[in-house]
Structure 1
Amino acid sequence: MFRLALVIDEKPHTRMFKVNNYSQSGFTLVELSVVLAISAIILAFAIPGTANLMNHSGRHTALADLISTLNLARNTAINEQTTVTLCAIGNDSKCANDWSFPIVAFRDPSRTKQITDDSQIVRILHSVETGRLVVRSGIHNYFRFQSSGWSRGTLGHFIWCPDSDDNQYAAQVRINMGGRPQMARDYDGDGVVEDASGDPITCEGV
């Protein structure tokens, strides 16, 4: 803040102007403590909110890609009147028992569970960016869609778990006999979706 002060000199017909400067003082220790306390409170609320947002975003992206791939595999089988297989493809281009390999939906009219030509590929399921996708395909290492769209004999499900293993964000997609993907729901209102047996989905140990 600046203020002009008029000073009259003793000499006749002479005037001098003096500038008085006022500088703002810094934060006191009390003020600084208050600012730090408020910042800590804001940070305490912001961190869980960010984690929740990441869980929701990761879940949405993973499930959207999975369901889209399953629907495309089924529709391709119906529209082209062929058999479509979905499995993890190993280095030998055959269905592998390890679902950490790339998951691929491909035309498999001879039911060999093997890709011999790139034209067979319907879609490659992208790896999840956050969390992990767990596959349960029963006694088989694949899912198969018949020309009717049915997946008879290859029932199973997919579970998505967040990196935090918080069951409230876990999701399950089941494939029914008709070959349609179904999202597991929370019927008892405890915040965790249930599997086909009515038990809550758990990420621990999967």
Structure 2
Amino acid sequence: MKSKCRGASLIEILGVCTIMAVVASLSYPTLAGVIADQRMKTTVSQLRLIIKSARQLAVFEGTTVTLCPSADQISCSKEWSDPLIVFTDPNHNEQVDNDEILERQLELKPGEANLRWSSLQPYLQFNREGFTRATNGSLRYCPQDQTKTNSYRKLVISRSGRVRISQPERGLSNDRLNQDFGC
């Protein structure tokens, strides 16, 4: 008996390739959205972690700890697009002195998002009990693409030093979104 080996014809292969190309082109926008959403969640998680670690450091070391943006990693700036630093600051002067230790730093990828800090002071300080010094505040995460309203986040730091994450409600108007999240 002869066995007949039969392969796929050129037209069948072209048909399968066409179907695969159509499916891939339809799924690309969804995949790009999933990747952007994961980047946002990772960044917000990193921000929350650096705030919580600054608070923990203040309690464990029994001293004031400052979290702030800094272009030179020595003194605090008011520009929250600069890398963030955490350091012990017993003299409350918002800069890393010779006897103070730079404990952590966090640099966001350029162009990923804008951070906006809302508080009475342009920095965040924790005292040795883990409370913020004199004020609470909120750190807003604003995506570069302002149309992605589901990517807005606000890290709210209470006077007791606790952090909670707030996000916009579904269907929120752009005016209300700007009012609530200030992006």
TM range (shorter): 0.7 to 0.9
Distance 2:13 2:56 in 1: 65
Q: How many residues align?
A: 178
Give 3-state SS (helix, strand or coil) of 2:10's partner. coil
User: Cα offset for 1:172?
Assistant: 1.6
1:27 matched to 2:10? The reply is: yes
Distance 2:42 2:165 in 1: 14
- Tell me, which stretches of 5 or more residues in structure 2 are unaligned? none
Aligned residues of 1:89 and 1:101 also touching (Cα < 8 A): yes
Q: TM-score, normalised by structure 1?
A: 0.70
User: What is the aligned counterpart of 1:102 among 50, 62, 83?
Assistant: 83
Match of 1:114 in 2: 95
Distance 2:124 2:100 in 1: 19
Give 3-state SS (helix, strand or coil) of 1:48's partner. helix
Match of 2:44 in 1: 63
Q: In 2 relative to 1, CA 118–110 (structure 1 residues): closer, same or farther, beyond 3 Å?
A: closer
* Partner AA of 1:181 in structure 2: V
Match of 2:55 in 1: 74
Cα RMSD for the two superposed structures:
3.3
Distance 1:135 1:79 in 2: 28
User: What is the aligned counterpart of 1:169 among 151, 157, 160?
Assistant: 151
Q: In 2 relative to 1, CA 167–73 (structure 1 residues): closer, same or farther, beyond 3 Å?
A: same
Larger radius of gyration: 1
- Tell me, which stretches of 5 or more residues in structure 1 are unaligned? 5-20, 193-198
Give 3-state SS (helix, strand or coil) of 1:91's partner. coil
Match of 1:10 in 2: none
Distance 1:124 1:118 in 2: 18
Greater helix proportion: 2
